[in-house]
Amino acid sequence: MALPEWDGELTSVRHDPDTGAWFVIGVHSTRLGPASGGTRAMVYDGVTDAVADARRLAGAMTSKMAAAGLPMGGGKSVIALPAPRAELDDATWRRILHLHAANLNLLGGNYTTGPDVGTAAADMDVLATLTPHVFGRSTAAGGPGSSAPMTALGVFAAIEAGVAEAGLDGVEGLRVLVQGLGAVGADVARFAARAGAKLIVTDVDPARCAAVADDLGAEVIGADDVLSRACDVLVPCATGGLLSPATAATVPCTVIAGAANNLLTEDAVGEVLRRRGITYAPDFVANAGGAIHLVGREVLGWDAGEVAARTRAVGDTLAGIFADARAHDISTVTAAGRAAARTLADGRPALGTTDTAGAQR
Ligand code: NAD
Ligand code: PPY
């Protein structure tokens, strides 16, 4: 397989003929500390797609850590499954986790994983019996538990910051459209409902829509209508790639702030949104709450209160990025990228540095 060029440090690719799974680990940067980022397990069109996804997600983790001031680098694992996770038997899934752990051990702590789409704290518990290079075990297993609640808290802070930047008077009464009602999206919907938003929701899983509609009185729309339904705030919490140059040119909203990683198909989409006067909270800044939770609890020794306070500060970080973008007539994507690049060039994240064993110094 000929791999395209990449600005990252390492790509590890392994195939398991027994299960048919492909294992990809992208280590984008260890400039600020050991690389870190979750394990995504899903079906891909082929290994080329899996490699491209791992690399792009790993790059986003580098920017996320830098923008959040965390002393970690960026990496990501992708396991390209032979069939959807729900269709795999226990023995196959266990074998996949064992092989993934062996790959993590080969990297010797230069990359530490955690949960992402298709994996959860229970999987981190299994991995942690096989390798020390794991964040995000369940609380029952002595870990910090799911990162999703803090990701949702940070996304809501991003929504509030975006609403203020757009000159709107708070979230109350605004039409807030949440796409994806999984671990993060359902919690963001709850925050928005509590703040008095007119909630509109969608998910490809009708049961998730029904639960949120019952619980929060939300209006449910079809998954295909997410880019045509007028709203004040669009909150993408499903998968990436929702906004391309074409979809960004017509999406009918005022603010976009969500959890989905790699929401834009390319950075230039930020400029399309800027020209249309849409306030966009860059994904790697808005969704940093999960990373703040995992790194804060497991590397920096923060308690839950400190993690929550640092996560709410995502709103302040975004206010700075919005102001910079406004002052220089650049997109928020460019402004956030420049801020992360400054930290990377400096080599000193706001919250200190770590060695590969994860100890702060
Ligand atoms: P999840 O798998 O729990 O939820 C995703 C939800 O999106 C599911 O309910 C799924 O049915 C729905 N969905 C998928 N495709 C859809 C579509 N086309 N239209 C509508 N709904 C669709 O995942 P999560 O943990 O809630 O994460 C959501 C997103 O946020 C992901 O992109 C993830 O990478 C990102 N993220 C999550 C965290 C975290 O802490 N969990 C941290 C940072 C970023
Ligand atoms: C993400 O925030 O996108 C993740 O992948 C979660 C994560 C963050 C930090 C370490 C491990 C996993």
Give 243-262 as a DSSP string: B-HHHHTT---SEE----TT
pLDDT at site 354: 66
Amino acid present at 156: F
Q: Which residues are catalytic?
A: 76
pLDDT at site 355: 56
Which residues pair with residue 264 across a beta bridge? 243
Is the CB of residue 183 below 6 angstroms from any atom belonging to ligand 2?
no
Choose which residue among 85, 146, 151, 262 to substitute to test ligand 1 binding: the one with the highest number of ligand atoms within 8 A of its C-beta.
151
Is the CB of residue 36 below 6 angstroms from any atom belonging to ligand 2?
yes
Residue of the CA atom closest to atom 35 of ligand 1: 260
Q: Tell me the CA–centroid distance for residue 148 and ligand 1, in Å.
A: 10
| Structure tokens given for 168 | 């709107």
Residue of the CA atom closest to atom 29 of ligand 1: 260
Is the CB of residue 135 below 6 angstroms from any atom belonging to ligand 2?
yes
pLDDT at site 331: 98
Neighbours of 22 (CB within 10 A): 21
Ligand of minimum distance to the alpha carbon of 221? 1
Q: Tell me the CA–centroid distance for residue 185 and ligand 1, in Å.
A: 7
Choose which residue among 53, 294, 297, 354 to substitute to test ligand 2 binding: the one with the highest number of ligand atoms within 8 A of its C-beta.
294
Give the residue carrying structure tokens 């802070």.
Answer: 157
pLDDT at site 358: 45
C-beta separation of 231 from 252 below 8 A: yes
Residue of the CA atom closest to atom 9 of ligand 2: 291
Give the atom of ligand 1 at the shortest distance from the alpha carbon of 148. 40
Q: Tell me the CA–centroid distance for residue 269 and ligand 1, in Å.
A: 21
Measured CA to CA, the distance from residue 221 to residue 208 in angstroms comes to 12
| Structure tokens given for 178 | 């949440």
pLDDT at site 2: 78
Choose which residue among 104, 116, 298 to substitute to test ligand 2 binding: the one with the highest number of ligand atoms within 8 A of its C-beta.
116
pLDDT at site 58: 98
One digit per residue, the tens of pLDDT, for the chain of length 361 reads 678 999 999 999 999 999 999 999 999 999 999 999 999 999 999 999 999 999 999 999 999 999 999 999 999 999 999 999 999 999 999 999 999 999 999 999 999 999 999 999 999 999 999 999 999 999 999 999 999 999 999 999 999 999 999 999 999 999 999 999 999 999 999 999 999 999 999 999 999 999 999 999 999 999 999 999 999 999 999 999 999 999 999 999 999 999 999 999 999 999 999 999 999 999 999 999 999 999 999 999 999 999 999 999 999 999 999 999 999 999 999 999 999 999 999 998 877 766 544 444 3
pLDDT at site 332: 98
Strands 10-16 and 21-29, by their bridges, are antiparallel
